[in-house]
Amino acid sequence: MSSAHGIEATDCRATPRPAVYELIPAQRNESFRWHRHDYPAPLACWNYHPEYELHLIAHGSGRAMIGDHIGAFGPRQLVLIGPDLPHAWFSPLAEGEVLEGRDVVLQFSRPWIEGLIALCPELHGLSRLLDESLHGLEFIEDRALRLGMELEDLGMQQGGARLAACIGLLTRLAECPYRKLAIRRDDACSASPDRHRIQKLIRKLLSSDPAEIRHEELAASVGMSPSAFSRQFRATTGETLMNFLQKLRVSHACQLLTATNEAITDICRASGFSNISNFNRIFLKLRGCTPRDFRRQSRQISQPRHALPSGGTQCQGELHAL
């Protein structure tokens, strides 16, 4: 009988539609992103991103797709997803049914974790875990259940205690038995040179001023015509450039709404929107609330002893993770 670390999961070959590139909001005051969301939710789709992701299914069941793996999942499944590995968890639901708080997620960047390992020799044991996470790793046995609870508890921590808890969780993960899920690592999301160039450009866009991004300049920067660039961008990310830019601009606006006292009209312009009505409409579509409600709720969340004020719309997304 092989060791748990060497177990390979049974998989099915499938050709799903292109995975959507998930835009992970930059964390100005934290080294990583922790959040919890319902199912169904905009975040719960076939997607990929350059960050590592530790994903817990708190409750519910269904079928998971992770790379070329398709298999059943149940409550308390804990999986580590490597960079650019497509993944999704689908639960069968009755009409109108919602699994509240089904997914608990920790996301962190490759530069952050590699820098931490380089700085702290005690963390070198994480290197193998991170390398093998490119196939998707499901943690097993009783230790996985305890680590899942630690991941949930991480959301209640703040400041240095939160960082220490995250590092402790990752080191214990490296000692927990696991099995690989995806048999092959085709890296289909970056198979062609054009896709590779666009993925590299996307990473650059995440740190760019969204008000300065222009379609024609983006296309020229990768040596394509605007129309060819638009087609390749959609093939790579699973969505249009316009939709991606809207998400990027709303994400930037959320940071400004949370961290500054700038007027909403100024934040509208600074985020790349041409007028306030368009800004409000797109913000409402993506976040489920107005910019004004988002700012009010984010301030209430930063003061956890106070309840959210009544009379407003509850925003979608994870305000506490911005």
Q: What is the pLDDT of residues 134-158, one digit of tens each?
A: 999 999 999 999 999 999 999 999 9
* Distance in angstroms (rounded) separating the CA atoms of residues 147 and 139: 9
* CB neighbours of residue 44 within 10 Å: 17
Residue 185: the pLDDT is 56
State the pLDDT confidence band at 5, using cuts at 50, 70 and 90: very low
Question: Sign of the CA dihedral 204, 208, 214, 217?
Answer: negative
- Percent of the chain residues topping a pLDDT of 70: 82
State the pLDDT confidence band at 189, using cuts at 50, 70 and 90: low
**102, 91 contact by CB (below 8 A):** yes
189-321 fold:
Arc Repressor Mutant, subunit A (1.10.10)
Residue 184: the pLDDT is 64
**89, 57 contact by CB (below 8 A):** yes
Which residue type occupies 199? Q
State the pLDDT confidence band at 14, using cuts at 50, 70 and 90: very low
Which residue type occupies 95? E
Average model confidence (pLDDT) across the chain: 83
Strands 47-48 and 20-21 turn out to be parallel
- Where do the structural domains in the chain lie, given as residue ranges? 4-180, 189-321
Give long-range contacts, CB 8 A cutoff, 24+ apart: 30-33.
Answer: 30/162, 30/321, 31/108, 31/112, 31/163, 31/166, 32/106, 32/107, 32/108, 32/109, 32/112, 32/166, 33/105, 33/106, 33/107, 33/108, 33/321
For residues 160 and 318, the model is more confident at 160
Q: Indicate the DSSP class of residue 8.
A: B
* Distance in angstroms (rounded) separating the CA atoms of residues 132 and 125: 12
For residues 314 and 29, the model is more confident at 29
Q: 262, 255, 248, 226: which is closest to 319 by C-alpha?
A: 255
**78, 139 contact by CB (below 8 A):** yes
* CB neighbours of residue 203 within 10 Å: 10
Residue 203: the pLDDT is 67
For residues 260 and 317, the model is more confident at 260
- Domains 4-180 and 189-321 are alike in CATH topology: no
State the pLDDT confidence band at 42, using cuts at 50, 70 and 90: confident
Q: For 126, how many CA atoms within 13 A lie in the half-sphere containing its CB? A: 24
Mean pLDDT of 296-303: 72
CATH architecture of 4-180: Sandwich (2.60)
Beta strands in 118-222 (DSSP E): 137-139, 178-180
For residues 12 and 218, the model is more confident at 218
Task: Work out the burial of residue 54: count CB atoms within 10 Å of its CB; fewer than 13 is exposed, 13-18 middle, 19 or more buried.
Answer: buried
Residue 307: the pLDDT is 42
Q: Read off the pLDDT of residues 52-89 as tens digits, 9 standing for 90 and up.
A: 999 999 999 998 989 888 888 999 999 999 999 999 99
Checking if the pLDDT of 304 tops 90, the result is no
State the pLDDT confidence band at 46, using cuts at 50, 70 and 90: confident
Residue 24: the pLDDT is 82
Which residue type occupies 84? D
Checking if the pLDDT of 311 tops 60, the result is no
* Distance in angstroms (rounded) separating the CA atoms of residues 56 and 75: 9
Hey, what are 224's tokens?
Answer: 């394509």
